[in-house]
Structure 1
Protein backbone atom coordinates (compact mmCIF):
# COMPACT_ATOMS: atom_id res chain seq x y z
CA UNK A 1 0.00 0.00 0.00
CA UNK A 2 1.28 3.45 -0.85
CA UNK A 3 1.82 6.22 1.67
CA UNK A 4 -1.35 7.89 0.32
CA UNK A 5 -3.24 4.63 0.73
CA UNK A 6 -2.11 4.32 4.35
CA UNK A 7 -3.11 7.94 5.00
CA UNK A 8 -6.53 7.27 3.47
CA UNK A 9 -6.90 4.15 5.62
CA UNK A 10 -5.99 6.10 8.75
CA UNK A 11 -8.61 8.73 7.87
CA UNK A 12 -11.18 5.97 7.28
CA UNK A 13 -10.34 4.36 10.64
CA UNK A 14 -10.79 7.75 12.35
CA UNK A 15 -14.40 7.90 11.13
CA UNK A 16 -15.49 4.57 12.66
CA UNK A 17 -18.29 4.77 15.20
CA UNK A 18 -18.21 4.16 18.02
CA UNK A 19 -14.63 5.35 18.26
CA UNK A 20 -12.27 2.86 19.91
CA UNK A 21 -10.50 3.76 23.16
CA UNK A 22 -7.44 5.97 22.64
CA UNK A 23 -4.84 3.22 23.24
CA UNK A 24 -6.55 0.90 20.76
CA UNK A 25 -6.95 3.66 18.16
CA UNK A 26 -3.24 4.47 18.46
CA UNK A 27 -2.30 0.81 18.04
CA UNK A 28 -4.54 0.46 14.99
CA UNK A 29 -2.84 3.47 13.39
CA UNK A 30 0.58 1.93 14.13
CA UNK A 31 -0.45 -1.35 12.53
CA UNK A 32 -1.84 0.47 9.48
CA UNK A 33 1.43 2.38 9.08
CA UNK A 34 3.39 -0.86 9.40
CA UNK A 35 1.49 -2.16 6.37
CA UNK A 36 3.09 0.54 4.19
CA UNK A 37 5.67 -0.97 1.90
CA UNK A 38 5.03 -4.59 2.93
CA UNK A 39 4.58 -7.22 0.30
CA UNK A 40 0.98 -8.26 -0.18
CA UNK A 41 -0.22 -11.25 1.76
CA UNK A 42 -0.81 -14.31 -0.41
CA UNK A 43 -4.05 -13.80 -2.29
CA UNK A 44 -4.35 -10.04 -1.84
CA UNK A 45 -3.71 -9.35 -5.51
CA UNK A 46 -6.12 -12.07 -6.60
CA UNK A 47 -8.76 -10.76 -4.20
CA UNK A 48 -9.06 -7.77 -6.51
CA UNK A 49 -7.86 -5.36 -3.82
CA UNK A 50 -5.67 -2.43 -4.65
CA UNK A 51 -5.34 1.13 -3.50
CA UNK A 52 -5.66 2.43 -7.04
CA UNK A 53 -8.41 5.00 -7.21
CA UNK A 54 -8.60 5.25 -3.43
CA UNK A 55 -9.29 8.97 -3.49
CA UNK A 56 -12.00 9.08 -6.14
CA UNK A 57 -15.12 7.39 -7.40
CA UNK A 58 -17.79 5.68 -5.32
CA UNK A 59 -15.38 4.40 -2.65
CA UNK A 60 -15.29 0.81 -3.87
CA UNK A 61 -11.56 0.74 -4.80
CA UNK A 62 -10.69 2.40 -1.49
CA UNK A 63 -12.90 -0.03 0.42
CA UNK A 64 -11.20 -3.00 -1.24
CA UNK A 65 -7.75 -1.58 -0.51
CA UNK A 66 -8.66 -0.81 3.09
CA UNK A 67 -10.06 -4.30 3.59
CA UNK A 68 -7.00 -5.98 2.08
CA UNK A 69 -4.63 -3.95 4.25
CA UNK A 70 -6.69 -4.59 7.37
CA UNK A 71 -6.84 -8.33 6.69
CA UNK A 72 -3.10 -8.39 6.10
CA UNK A 73 -2.43 -6.39 9.29
CA UNK A 74 -4.70 -8.75 11.23
CA UNK A 75 -2.80 -11.71 9.85
CA UNK A 76 0.56 -10.24 10.84
CA UNK A 77 -0.63 -9.69 14.43
CA UNK A 78 -2.16 -13.17 14.69
CA UNK A 79 0.91 -14.82 13.20
CA UNK A 80 3.23 -13.05 15.64
CA UNK A 81 1.05 -13.85 18.67
CA UNK A 82 0.51 -17.50 17.74
CA UNK A 83 4.16 -18.18 16.96
CA UNK A 84 5.24 -16.64 20.26
CA UNK A 85 2.40 -18.38 22.14
CA UNK A 86 1.36 -14.96 23.42
CA UNK A 87 -2.30 -15.36 24.28
CA UNK A 88 -2.27 -14.33 27.94
CA UNK A 89 -3.40 -11.11 29.60
CA UNK A 90 -0.19 -9.32 28.62
CA UNK A 91 -1.19 -9.64 24.98
CA UNK A 92 -4.67 -8.21 25.48
CA UNK A 93 -4.12 -5.02 23.47
CA UNK A 94 -2.71 -6.99 20.54
CA UNK A 95 -5.56 -9.52 20.65
CA UNK A 96 -8.15 -6.73 20.78
CA UNK A 97 -6.32 -4.91 17.96
CA UNK A 98 -6.44 -8.05 15.81
CA UNK A 99 -10.16 -8.38 16.50
CA UNK A 100 -10.76 -4.72 15.66
CA UNK A 101 -8.71 -4.93 12.46
CA UNK A 102 -10.67 -7.98 11.30
CA UNK A 103 -13.97 -6.32 12.20
CA UNK A 104 -13.04 -3.15 10.32
CA UNK A 105 -11.91 -5.24 7.35
CA UNK A 106 -15.36 -6.82 7.13
CA UNK A 107 -16.96 -3.39 7.52
CA UNK A 108 -14.83 -2.07 4.65
CA UNK A 109 -15.85 -5.04 2.53
CA UNK A 110 -19.45 -4.00 3.05
CA UNK A 111 -18.58 -0.81 1.15
CA UNK A 112 -17.56 -2.94 -1.86
CA UNK A 113 -20.44 -5.42 -2.13
CA UNK A 114 -19.65 -6.50 -5.70
CA UNK A 115 -17.04 -8.99 -4.49
CA UNK A 116 -18.06 -9.29 -0.84
CA UNK A 117 -18.47 -13.06 -0.77
CA UNK A 118 -15.21 -13.75 -2.63
CA UNK A 119 -13.18 -11.39 -0.44
CA UNK A 120 -14.71 -12.67 2.82
CA UNK A 121 -13.91 -16.23 1.82
CA UNK A 122 -10.35 -15.19 0.95
CA UNK A 123 -9.94 -13.48 4.34
CA UNK A 124 -11.20 -16.53 6.23
CA UNK A 125 -8.88 -18.85 4.28
CA UNK A 126 -5.97 -16.48 4.96
CA UNK A 127 -6.70 -16.44 8.72
CA UNK A 128 -7.18 -20.23 8.80
CA UNK A 129 -3.84 -20.70 7.06
CA UNK A 130 -2.14 -18.66 9.75
CA UNK A 131 -3.71 -20.75 12.49
CA UNK A 132 -2.75 -23.98 10.71
CA UNK A 133 0.88 -22.94 10.28
CA UNK A 134 1.41 -21.67 13.83
Structure 2
Protein backbone atom coordinates (compact mmCIF):
# COMPACT_ATOMS: atom_id res chain seq x y z
CA UNK A 1 0.00 0.00 0.00
CA UNK A 2 2.79 2.33 0.71
CA UNK A 3 4.03 1.97 -2.83
CA UNK A 4 0.61 2.80 -4.12
CA UNK A 5 0.50 5.89 -1.90
CA UNK A 6 3.98 6.94 -3.01
CA UNK A 7 3.04 6.30 -6.60
CA UNK A 8 -0.16 8.32 -6.23
CA UNK A 9 1.78 11.16 -4.59
CA UNK A 10 4.34 11.12 -7.40
CA UNK A 11 1.58 11.11 -10.02
CA UNK A 12 -0.10 14.05 -8.29
CA UNK A 13 3.18 15.97 -8.18
CA UNK A 14 3.84 15.20 -11.85
CA UNK A 15 0.33 16.33 -12.76
CA UNK A 16 0.85 19.58 -10.82
CA UNK A 17 4.20 20.11 -12.55
CA UNK A 18 2.59 19.44 -15.94
CA UNK A 19 -0.16 21.92 -15.10
CA UNK A 20 2.43 24.56 -14.14
CA UNK A 21 4.32 23.92 -17.38
CA UNK A 22 1.11 24.30 -19.38
CA UNK A 23 0.42 27.63 -17.64
CA UNK A 24 3.99 28.80 -18.32
CA UNK A 25 3.64 27.88 -22.00
CA UNK A 26 0.32 29.77 -22.21
CA UNK A 27 1.90 32.87 -20.62
CA UNK A 28 4.84 32.70 -23.03
CA UNK A 29 2.49 32.37 -26.00
CA UNK A 30 0.47 35.36 -24.76
CA UNK A 31 3.64 37.44 -24.40
CA UNK A 32 4.67 36.40 -27.89
CA UNK A 33 1.31 37.55 -29.30
CA UNK A 34 1.56 40.86 -27.42
CA UNK A 35 5.10 41.42 -28.68
CA UNK A 36 4.11 40.64 -32.28
CA UNK A 37 1.16 43.04 -32.04
CA UNK A 38 3.40 45.75 -30.61
CA UNK A 39 5.97 45.24 -33.36
CA UNK A 40 3.20 45.40 -35.96
CA UNK A 41 1.98 48.74 -34.59
CA UNK A 42 5.51 50.15 -34.50
CA UNK A 43 6.30 49.08 -38.06
CA UNK A 44 2.96 50.48 -39.29
CA UNK A 45 3.77 53.81 -37.63
CA UNK A 46 7.24 53.88 -39.16
CA UNK A 47 5.91 52.98 -42.60
CA UNK A 48 3.28 55.72 -42.36
CA UNK A 49 5.93 58.29 -41.41
CA UNK A 50 8.16 57.19 -44.28
CA UNK A 51 5.28 57.46 -46.74
CA UNK A 52 4.42 60.95 -45.43
CA UNK A 53 8.04 62.09 -45.75
CA UNK A 54 8.26 60.63 -49.25
CA UNK A 55 5.04 62.37 -50.31
CA UNK A 56 6.31 65.68 -48.87
CA UNK A 57 9.66 65.29 -50.66
CA UNK A 58 7.93 64.51 -53.94
CA UNK A 59 5.73 67.60 -53.52
CA UNK A 60 8.78 69.79 -52.84
CA UNK A 61 10.55 68.31 -55.87
CA UNK A 62 7.53 69.00 -58.10
CA UNK A 63 7.34 72.57 -56.77
CA UNK A 64 11.07 73.06 -57.40
CA UNK A 65 10.73 71.69 -60.95
CA UNK A 66 7.83 74.06 -61.60
CA UNK A 67 9.80 77.01 -60.21
CA UNK A 68 12.81 76.11 -62.39
CA UNK A 69 10.62 75.92 -65.48
CA UNK A 70 9.00 79.24 -64.58
CA UNK A 71 12.37 80.93 -64.05
CA UNK A 72 13.74 79.55 -67.31
CA UNK A 73 10.70 80.81 -69.20
CA UNK A 74 10.97 84.18 -67.49
CA UNK A 75 14.69 84.41 -68.25
CA UNK A 76 14.13 83.57 -71.89
CA UNK A 77 11.62 86.42 -72.17
CA UNK A 78 13.57 89.08 -70.26
CA UNK A 79 17.14 88.58 -71.54
CA UNK A 80 17.84 91.02 -74.36
CA UNK A 81 19.12 89.69 -77.67
CA UNK A 82 22.35 91.70 -77.41
CA UNK A 83 23.33 89.74 -74.33
CA UNK A 84 22.60 86.36 -75.86
CA UNK A 85 24.33 87.15 -79.16
CA UNK A 86 27.68 87.70 -77.51
CA UNK A 87 29.95 90.52 -76.57
CA UNK A 88 29.77 93.73 -78.60
CA UNK A 89 32.66 95.69 -77.08
CA UNK A 90 36.39 95.78 -77.72
CA UNK A 91 39.18 95.93 -75.22
CA UNK A 92 40.50 99.49 -74.76
CA UNK A 93 43.88 98.67 -76.31
CA UNK A 94 42.24 97.28 -79.44
CA UNK A 95 39.96 100.31 -79.81
CA UNK A 96 42.97 102.61 -79.42
CA UNK A 97 44.94 100.70 -82.04
CA UNK A 98 42.06 100.89 -84.51
CA UNK A 99 41.56 104.60 -83.78
CA UNK A 100 45.25 105.27 -84.56
CA UNK A 101 44.73 103.58 -87.91
CA UNK A 102 41.69 105.72 -88.65
CA UNK A 103 39.02 103.02 -88.20
CA UNK A 104 36.01 103.87 -86.05
CA UNK A 105 34.48 101.07 -84.02
CA UNK A 106 30.94 102.00 -85.03
CA UNK A 107 31.49 101.41 -88.75
CA UNK A 108 33.68 98.43 -89.41
CA UNK A 109 33.87 97.52 -93.06
CA UNK A 110 36.08 94.76 -94.35
CA UNK A 111 37.85 97.00 -96.91
CA UNK A 112 38.48 99.82 -94.44
CA UNK A 113 39.72 97.37 -91.84
CA UNK A 114 42.13 95.67 -94.24
CA UNK A 115 43.43 99.06 -95.46
CA UNK A 116 43.93 100.24 -91.88
CA UNK A 117 45.77 97.10 -90.83
CA UNK A 118 48.25 97.01 -93.75
CA UNK A 119 50.94 98.71 -91.71
CA UNK A 120 50.80 95.92 -89.11
CA UNK A 121 52.61 92.62 -89.34
CA UNK A 122 50.70 89.50 -90.30
CA UNK A 123 50.57 88.26 -86.70
CA UNK A 124 49.26 91.61 -85.46
CA UNK A 125 46.57 91.70 -88.18
CA UNK A 126 45.45 88.20 -87.21
CA UNK A 127 45.38 89.20 -83.53
CA UNK A 128 43.28 92.29 -84.27
CA UNK A 129 40.83 90.34 -86.40
CA UNK A 130 40.54 87.61 -83.73
CA UNK A 131 39.74 90.27 -81.13
CA UNK A 132 37.08 91.68 -83.39
CA UNK A 133 35.59 88.22 -83.98
CA UNK A 134 35.56 87.51 -80.22
CA UNK A 135 33.89 90.86 -79.63
CA UNK A 136 31.22 89.95 -82.15
CA UNK A 137 32.00 92.93 -84.34
CA UNK A 138 33.37 90.94 -87.26
CA UNK A 139 32.05 87.74 -88.71
- Report the TM-score when normalising by structure 2: 0.25
Higher relative contact order (CA 8 A, sep 6+): 1
- Report the TM-score when normalising by structure 1: 0.25
Of Structure 1 and Structure 2, the greater helix share is in 2
